[in-house]
């Protein structure tokens, strides 16, 4: 509205609304309908933004959720609640810059990681139940019609979030899982020349949703424009990654370093 140089009264007139309606929407007092958003965008000459704004409006409550809220009763429930999302997703594209993606984690690795998270966040410690729920959710990588495009920064292979035995088991599991026909695992070498800088970890579920993980919150993106940006980043990061024998060599090198 400001970019278009319109006042609230002028915008209401263009939309055929009472002037109080545009004021209530602008102040966040009344949630806009999809039709309201389209009319608003047309009035401002910004029809191209309607789809993204509608998606953001529909998912406003779940778009940015703090971990302390998600984990207020422990971590098991969030794993169980996301099972339907994992089951209906046909194509996963995952970029990991800090820890192994959840669907790749072994029991030992997941236990070490979730213990650290519970302690740092000060949330209820239901680690054993949460690990079981995470492993159960991860069955999608072995069952059903799902494809996985997975990208790991090489440094992920070295971050010790569990003890040495669990780290070794996790790396060996990685060597096994990358042989599955539905899995494409790429590792971005630490010394690779980059066209995209290291990003926050994100999970793309088909082309419908992207979950971005920050220190304090999970951000769920459904706006088409934002999803396209993350998928573009995934595509460019993919070009930097190595696969097959070179990727196995990097994993073997990390495995030797466990000692």
| End-to-end CA separation in angstroms for the chain | 61
HSE, CB side, 13 Å, CA atoms: give it for residue 147. 5
Task: Decide if pLDDT at 55 tops 80.
Answer: no
pLDDT of 60 reads 61
The SS3 of residue 184 is strand
Is 27 found in the same domain as 129? no
Sign of CA dihedral 167, 171, 176, 180: positive
Mean per-residue pLDDT for 233-254?
98
Is 68 found in the same domain as 12? no
Is 227 found in the same domain as 102? yes
CATH of the domain at 236: 3.30.870
Pick the closest to residue 53 from 95, 102, 1 (CA basis). Answer: 1
pLDDT of 29-48, one tens digit each? 888 888 988 999 999 999 88
pLDDT of 171 reads 98
Is 97 found in the same domain as 18? no
CATH of the domain at 50: 1.10.260
Pick the closest to residue 85 from 201, 231, 203 (CA basis). Answer: 203
Task: Decide if pLDDT at 234 tops 70.
Answer: yes
Residue 77 backbone dihedrals phi, psi, to 5 degrees: -65, -40
Is 110 found in the same domain as 23? no
Pick the closest to residue 204 from 132, 121, 147, 124 (CA basis). Answer: 147
pLDDT of 57 reads 72
Out of 33, 59, 85, a domain closes at: 59
pTM of the full predicted structure?
0.81
Mutual orientation of helices 8-15 and 34-43 as an angle, nearest 10°?
A: 110
Mean per-residue pLDDT for 114-136?
95
Out of 59, 74, 101, a domain closes at: 59
Domain that holds residue 141: 64-258
Residue 151: strand pairing partners: 95, 186
pLDDT of 62 reads 59
d(CA 69, CA 217): 9
Is 134 found in the same domain as 166? yes
d(CA 65, CA 78): 12
pLDDT of 61 reads 58
Under a CB-based contact definition with an 8 Å cutoff, are residues 162 and 108 in contact?
yes
pLDDT of 169-202, one tens digit each? 999 999 999 999 999 999 999 999 999 999 999 9
């Amino acid at each position: 509205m400001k970019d278009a140089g319109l006042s609230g009264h002028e915008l209401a007139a263009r939309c055929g609304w009472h002037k109080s309606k545009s004021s209530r929407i602008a102040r966040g007092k009344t949630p806009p309908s999809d039709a309201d958003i389209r009319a608003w965008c047309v009035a401002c000459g910004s029809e191209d933004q309607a789809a993204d704004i509608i998606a953001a409006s529909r998912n406003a409550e779940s778009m940015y959720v703090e971990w302390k809220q998600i984990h207020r009763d422990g971590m098991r429930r969030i794993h169980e609640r996301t099972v339907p999302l994992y089951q209906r997703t046909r194509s996963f594209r995952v970029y990991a810059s800090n820890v192994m993606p959840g669907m790749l984690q072994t029991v030992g690795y997941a236990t070490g990681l979730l213990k650290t998270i519970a302690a740092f966040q000060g949330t209820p410690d239901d680690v054993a139940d949460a690990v079981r729920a995470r492993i159960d959710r991860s069955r999608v990588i072995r069952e059903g019609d799902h494809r996985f495009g997975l990208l790991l920064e090489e440094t992920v292979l070295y971050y010790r979030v569990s003890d040495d035995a669990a780290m070794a088991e996790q790396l060996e599991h990685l060597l096994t899982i990358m042989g599955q026909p539905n899995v494409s695992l790429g590792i971005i070498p630490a010394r690779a020349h980059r066209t995209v800088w290291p990003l926050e970890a994100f999970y793309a579920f088909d082309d419908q949703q992207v979950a971005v993980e920050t220190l304090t919150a999970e951000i769920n993106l459904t706006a088409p424009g934002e999803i396209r940006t993350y998928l573009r980043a995934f595509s460019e990061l993919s070009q930097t990654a190595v696969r097959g024998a070179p990727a196995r060599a990097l994993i073997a090198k990390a495995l030797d370093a466990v000692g």
